[in-house]
Structure formats: C-alpha cells, structure tokens
Amino acid sequence: MKKENDKTKKRYFLMKTNGFSFRNLCHNLKVLFLPWLILAVFAAVATVGLNFFSSEVDAVTATVSFHYKGIENGLDPNGCEFDKNSIISDEVIESALAASDLPSDMLTQVKDNIRVDSVVSTNAISNITNYESMFSSSSDSWTQDVSDSSFHPSQFIISFNYNHTNLNGEQAAQLLNTIIDEYQNHFLEIYGYNENIGNISGPDSFENNDYLIALDMYSANLLALEEYIKDLADEDVTEFRSETTNYSFSDLYDSAKLIRTVDIDTLTSYILNNGVISDKDVILSYYEYRIENLQFSNETYKYRLDEISASIENYQKDSVIVYDGYDSGSTTITNTSDIYDSMIQEKLNIQDAISSNERFISDMKDRITTIKKISLSTANKDREYVDEKIVELQTKFEDLKENLKITANEYFSEKKFSNAIAVTSPASYSVKHLISSSVNESIRVVIICELLILIAYLLFAIYFCSRDKLRELMKTNNKKINTV
C-alpha cells in the first residue's frame, strides 16, 4: 500500500508529456506552480533589494499646495507667471543652509540634486479631455468652459536626492523642511508688504532745500504712500484691522490723506502768507520747471490716450473656434478678452493722471502769482514755527509708516496669505519610509519581471505537454535525413 502511495506521489510530480490537452496542461501547471512561485518571489525580493541600495531611493520628498487667487491660472500674486523653481531658488537654499548651520558651499550640491514636479489631478485630466461635451452644450458659457479646461498645477512634489551629499536621511529631511519654511518667508517678503514703501523719505530729508520745495517733494512721496495704502484698502474686502495697531487700511489711508491735504497745505499757506522763503527766484524757477514737466507729461499722456481710444474702438474681441470632431464643422464664439479689459483700465488711469497733473499745474500757477506779490520775511519766529511744524510732520510720517508696516505684515501673514502655502506632506525619514520608497520605485520593474516569469511558466507547461510528440517528430525527421 505504501509503495503504491509513493508511486502515486511520483506520478503527481512527473510531467504529462504524451500530448497536448487541457487536462495535461492543468497537471503540468500544478507541477510547475511551486518552482514558479519560488522564482517569482525571489525575483520580486531581488528587484526591491537592488533598488533599495541604488541612489534612486536615497531621496526624501515633501508636498506643498498653493492656495491664493491667481494660482489656478498659473500666476503668482503679482499677476506674473508662477515659476515652480522659485521654491528652490539659490536665495531660499542659502537661507535654509544658514538656518541649518550647514556650510554655504553645499549650495551647488543641494541645487543639483533637488527638483520640483507638478502634480496633475484626475479632475484636471477629466476637464482637459471634456471638449466634446462642451461643444454639444447649448449653454452660452462655452467659451468659459473651454478656458476652464486649461490646467495649471497648484500642488508640487519637492524631491531631494541626498546620495551625492554628505547628509544622511534624517539631515536631508530636516533640510528639505527648512527649505520650505524659508520659501514661505521668502514668499511673504516678495508678495507681502513692500519694504521700499518704508524707505520713502520724510520732510526732514529735504532740509537743504527751501521750505516750499521740501514740502512739495514730501507731498509727492506721501502721495505714493497714500496710493499704496489705497490699493491695500481696495483689495481688503474683509476690512482687516490689526490687533497690534488697531488700524485698518482705510484708517491709515485717511491718516495719510489728512497729513497731505491738511497739515502740508496748512503749513504751505503759512509759508506763502508770511513770506518764509529764502530765495524767490529759486522757488519761481522750480515751479516753472515743474509746470513744464507736467505739461510735457500731459502731452505724452494725451497722445497715448488717443492711441488707446482708437485701439479700443477698432478692437475685435477674441474668437474661440470649437471643433466637434465630426464632419459637421465648427462653432465660433466671441470671448471676453483680458487685453481689451486692460486697455479700458489703462484709458481710465491715463485720464486720472491727466486730471491730477492739471490740478497740480493750476495750483503751481497760483503759487507763482502769490510769491511774486509777497514780501520776504526776516523774522526768526516764522522760521522757528515752520521748523517746529516740519518736525511734527516728520513724527507723524514715521508713525504712519510704522503702523502701516505692522498692519500690512499682519494682514499678509494672518489674512491674505495665511493659507497660501500648505505643506500637505512634510519630508520625513525612517527605515519604514526607505523600504516604502524602495517598493514604490520597484513596482513597475517587479510587474514586468513577474509577467515575464508568468509567460515562461505557461510556455514551459505547454512545452512539456507536447514534449514526447516533438521528440518523435524530430527522430522521424532525422531518419529521413539519414536515409537520403
């Protein structure tokens, strides 16, 4: 009985080679299954192991997402094209190296081994390939639908391959996270509060000039500051109010306007009425020069205004041609145009500039008339009064700039750009992470190897089914050849 069982087991592990049939094929597949399984597991483990020790796995990654108005169109907060490589700019990496107490000469090593890849969402792919449904729609918003089908990434993966550096995995992950932190600071510096505004000079910077000239220069600087604050106030629909200064941008705008239209004008009137002027000829020459410049600017503005008006009148808005992919032809739709809208805005800006210059010209002509009539004052009390008021103006100006800086920094960091950059997946390093990265990098190669082994497994099973007949056929052919 035992001998018969042994024979049965031996027959089970023997190939069926007496001809191809479904039964023989199934038997041979069973016999070859264990060797195939061992070989498949060995190939998978070997592939992952080789990739584990390769340089491709020695990388840490982090994922960042951008959330601000304009990124959906591929623009930065200033309306220019967004450059994803700005995340790993030299300036950002240098700041990160300094913050990590790493030598600055590592900049090239890090720069050459770090990259930023865009993440394309499945929704974006669906929108891009959805043209036929857009064409078939009876909606009037076809043009917008076509525009919306364009895709600009808002999520990016930053990969740092530290194999060619002196860093280990933990240090590389820490450096990558520091790079992202420094980029967030850099982002606020570039798109947040304009530091150049804080460098605008106050009235005491023009002390070598006559009072009227100094106040005129100061008024121009204050007007630039006022326009910057107004832009922030118009942009801020939330009516943000600083917790530190307790000011909103509307408050600061009113303060700046009050200094320019009340304090400066009041002091200017005092100077004119009391003749607190050092040299009439210098002042008159200055005002005449300013009038000539403003008149020339207006001539240039008017020439440009005529060009813009003609362009607007003759402008044909963009047309979008949508093909349905069949023989029925295409449909043309008139689209709204950013170029047309920008020309309208430029026309309005030019008209405002011309009106503003006309007011300045009229005001300076009135001052020239007044200066020609007044007698110059020699009283020290008048000059002391003006000097005292200029000091007060300077104090108000510095307070305004400081309050603006604090309020603007809070607004950009806590409101406008509070969620502009989100680190959805920070860089990390661990043995688990390394194994996971190795497996992920190896999946494609493993699948190909496993498919090849599976095909070989099937071919061997089929071959053994017909082995005896193939041998007989070969023997018959050999006999025929020998006979001949």
Which helix (H) or strand (E) segment holds residue 334: the answer is strand 330-334
Least confident of 288-297, 344-353, 455-464: 455-464
- Read off the pLDDT of residues 100-112 as tens digits, 9 standing for 90 and up: 999 999 999 999 9
Range among 10-19, 137-146, 415-424 with highest mean pLDDT value: 415-424
Is the CB of residue 423 less than 8 Å from the CB of residue 236?
Answer: no
Q: Which residue has the higher pLDDT, 441 or 250?
A: 250
Tell me: pLDDT of 453 over 70: yes
Q: Report the chain's mean pLDDT, rounded to a whole number.
A: 79
Nearest to 94 by CA among 76, 109, 84, 116: 109
Within 8 A by CB and 6+ apart from 15, the residues are 27, 28, 31, 464, 465, 467
d(CA 186, CA 85): 13
In order of 271, 279, 287, 288, 290, the CA distances from 363 in angstroms are 15, 20, 10, 12, 11
pLDDT of residue 7: 45
Is the CB of residue 64 less than 8 Å from the CB of residue 87?
Answer: yes
Residue 332 per-residue DSSP state = E
pLDDT of residue 207: 63
Q: Which residue has the higher pLDDT, 8 or 220?
A: 220
In degrees and rounded to multiples of 5, residue 165 shows phi and psi of -120, 175
| DSSP strands (E only) in 151-298 | 155-161
User: Rg of the chain over CA atoms, in angstroms?
Assistant: 39
pLDDT of residue 34: 75
Characterize the bridge pairing of strands 114-118 and 59-66.
unpaired
| DSSP strands (E only) in 103-256 | 114-118, 155-161
Query: What angle separates helix 169-191 from helix 90-99, to the nearest 10 degrees?
Result: 120
Least confident of 59-68, 247-256, 469-478: 469-478
pLDDT of residue 110: 92
d(CA 24, CA 32): 12
pLDDT of residue 477: 64
Least confident of 172-186, 272-286, 432-446: 432-446
Least confident of 142-156, 161-175, 432-446: 432-446
d(CA 275, CA 267): 12
d(CA 359, CA 367): 12
Place of tokens 């041979």: 28
Tell me: pLDDT of 471 over 60: yes
Structure tokens, 123: 């929704």
Dihedral angle sign, alpha carbons of residues 299, 303, 308, 310: positive
- Read off the pLDDT of residues 421-434 as tens digits, 9 standing for 90 and up: 999 989 877 555 55
Tell me: pLDDT of 2 over 50: no
Q: Which residue has the higher pLDDT, 478 or 407?
A: 407
d(CA 448, CA 167): 33
Nearest to 151 by CA among 118, 110, 182, 178: 118
In order of 116, 212, 271, the CA distances from 264 in angstroms are 52, 10, 11
Within 8 A by CB and 6+ apart from 327, the residues are none
Report residue 196's pLDDT band, with 50, 70 and 90 as the boundaries: confident
Is the CB of residue 64 less than 8 Å from the CB of residue 154?
Answer: no
Least confident of 42-46, 84-88, 191-195: 42-46
User: What's the full length of the chain, in residues?
Assistant: 484
pLDDT of residue 41: 79
Range among 4-8, 313-317, 356-360 with highest mean pLDDT value: 356-360
Structure tokens, 167: 């860093």
Report residue 461's pLDDT band, with 50, 70 and 90 as the boundaries: confident
Which helix (H) or strand (E) segment holds residue 48: the answer is helix 22-52
pLDDT of residue 258: 94
Tell me the pTM. 0.66
The DSSP annotation for 173-238 comes to HHHHHHHHHHHHHHHHHHHSS-HHHHT---GGGGTTS-HHHHHHHHHHHHHHHHHHHHHHHHH-TT
pLDDT of residue 396: 92
Position 144: which residue type? Q
